[in-house]
Amino acid sequence: MAKVTTNEIIEKFKMELVSGEEGIHRPITTSDISRPGLEMAGYFSYYPAERIQLLGRTEMSFYELLSTDEKKDRMRQLCTDNTPGIILSRDIEVPKELIEASELGQVPVMRTPVKTTRFSSRLTNFLESKLAPTTALHGVLVDIYGVGVLITGKSGVGKSETALELVKRGHRLVADDSVEIRQEDTDTLIGSSPELIEHLLEIRGLGIINVMTLFGAGAVRSHKRVTLVIDLEIWDKTKQYDRLGLDEETMRIIDTDITKITLPVRPGRNLAVIIEVAAMNFRLKRMGMNAAEQFSNRLNDIIVDGDHDDI
């Protein structure tokens, strides 16, 4: 399971650590952020202690109206064993009551000069990206005309060789052999390469080659949204393959269904060109132009007209 520590967001957003340094390695388990306005008023019945607590001008202006005992009580209740950290925006001065409570509870207190709403948005986006569900698939991910194409298939079917041909044709390699995929939204899958094998391609008989060194920085990219899966399989004479393209197959990755095309492999087929055209045709379909449906409609019109002529 992916996780982020408080220390990582301190380094990412270059925040000032004011107190509670002993707790900077606490894990952050949710991308939700809490602005404890009701808690400042004393209502802690539904306090989401596991979230990052963000204090802005509104919360702190109300805090200043409290008595000394109330201030100590509120800050003590904010700093729980589960709280990953408390952030003050706009470089607001950190109250001494909060410093004392954070040192006692070992809860990191940080400060940023960024406005509250803007910082909340940036931090939420960062946490959602880091904490997104992830998986790893065996295959090759290539950016073809802006379409993230995941090429899958059994070992030795020719995935890497096809990817090499696609790179030579001007497309960009994202990952070979192992593709790390994270779900950043309900329908958004982002694929990338493990750091160890980034930019590398394995060609049987040739070995490992560095695509960026051979073809330049324009031949690779670090990540790409996965929108199409092409599964390569050895040609099976007994199997009936789709010849029109009317039936759309899908593949579920994490919680997202991705369009899948099965391509039979046999000598003489130029897989790189076929995959290239498949990517272009996929883009056309998303633009509302479906050649298979147009052909089917024309064929139906001819059949209907023929029936009318017989009448």
Binned at pLDDT 50, 70 and 90, residue 306 comes out as low
The answer to whether 156 is annotated as binding is: yes
**159 belongs to the catalytic site:** yes
CA R_g for the chain: 28
Residue with tokens 């379909």: 285
pLDDT digits (tens, 9 = 90+) for 111-128: 999 999 999 999 999 998
Query: What gap in Å lies between CA 116 and CA 225, rounded to an integer?
Result: 30
Q: Is 159 labelled a binding residue?
A: yes
Annotated ligand binding at 158? The verdict is yes
- What value does the mean pLDDT of the chain take? 90
Q: How confident is the model at residue 81 (pLDDT cuts 50, 70, 90)?
A: very high
Of 3, 25, 138, 169, the catalytic one is 138
174-183, 205-214, 283-292: segment of lowest average pLDDT:
283-292
Q: How do the domains of the chain map onto residue ranges?
A: 4-130, 134-295
More confident residue, 288 or 26: 26
Beta bridge partners, 229, equal 150, 260
pLDDT greater than 70 at residue 292: no
User: Which of 76, 90, 177, 285 is the catalytic position?
Assistant: 177
SS3 for the chain, per residue?
CCCEEHHHHHHHCCCEEEECHHHCCCEECCCCEECCHHHHCCCCCCCCCCCEEEECHHHHHHHCCCCHHHHHHHHHHHCCCCCCCEEECCCCCCCHHHHHHHHHHCCCEEECCCCHHHHHHHHHHHHHHHCCCEEEEECEEEEECCEEEEEEECCCCCHHHHHHHHHHCCCEEEECCEEEEEEEECCEEEEECCHHHCCEEEECCCEEEEHHHHHCHHHECCEEECCEEEEEEECCCCCCCCCCCCCCEEEEECCEEEEEEEEEECCCCCHHHHHHHHHHHHHHHHCCCCHHHHHHHHHHHHHHHHHHHHC
Distance CA 117, CA 58 (A): 12
Q: What pLDDT does residue 307 have?
A: 60
Per-residue model confidence as pLDDT tens digits over 24-57 = 999 999 999 999 999 999 999 999 999 999 999 9
The pLDDT of residue 294 is 74
> What pLDDT, in 10s, does the model give residues 89-107?
999 999 999 999 999 999 9
C-alpha atoms less than 13 angstroms from C-alpha of 201 in its C-beta half-sphere: 28
Ramachandran sector of residue 199 (left: φ over 0; alpha: ψ -120 to 50; beta: rest): left
87 or 297, higher pLDDT: 87
Check whether 155 is labelled as a binding-site residue: yes
Which of the residue ranges 194-203, 267-276, 289-298 would you say has the lowest mean pLDDT? Answer: 289-298
Among 239, 243, 252, 308, which one carries the catalytic annotation? 243
Span 4-130 CATH architecture: 3-Layer(aba) Sandwich (3.40)
Among 3.40.50.300, 3.30.565.10, 3.90.340.10, 3.40.50.2300, what is the CATH number of 134-295?
A: 3.40.50.300
Catalytic residue among 159, 172, 199, 224: 159
pLDDT band at 229 (very low <50, low <70, confident <90, very high): very high
pLDDT at 301: 73
Residue whose token pair is 């109300």: 62
User: What is the tens place of the pLDDT at every residue in 129-163?
Assistant: 888 888 999 999 999 999 999 999 998 888 999 99
**What's the average model confidence in pLDDT over 257-267?**
89
Rounded to the nearest 10°, the torsion over CA 165, 166, 168, 173 is -120
The answer, yes or no, to whether residue 297 has pLDDT greater than 80, is: no
On the question of pLDDT at 187 being above 70, the answer is: yes
Please give the pLDDT value at position 71: 95
The residues, ordered by sequence, that sit 6+ positions from 265 with a Cβ below 8 Å of its Cβ are 153, 157, 158, 232, 233, 234, 235, 271
Are both 4-130 and 134-295 of the same fold?
no
Rounded distance, CA 248 to CA 244, Å?
A: 10
Phi, psi of 58 (to 5 degrees): -60, -50
C-alpha–C-alpha distance, residues 254 and 248, integer Å: 19
The amino acid at residue 203 is: I
The annotation status of 140 as a binding-site residue, yes or no, is no
Give pLDDT, residue 190.
93
Greater model confidence, 292 or 3: 3
**Is the distance from CB of 223 to CB of 141 less than 8 angstroms?**
no
**The predicted structure's pLDDT at residue 205:** 87
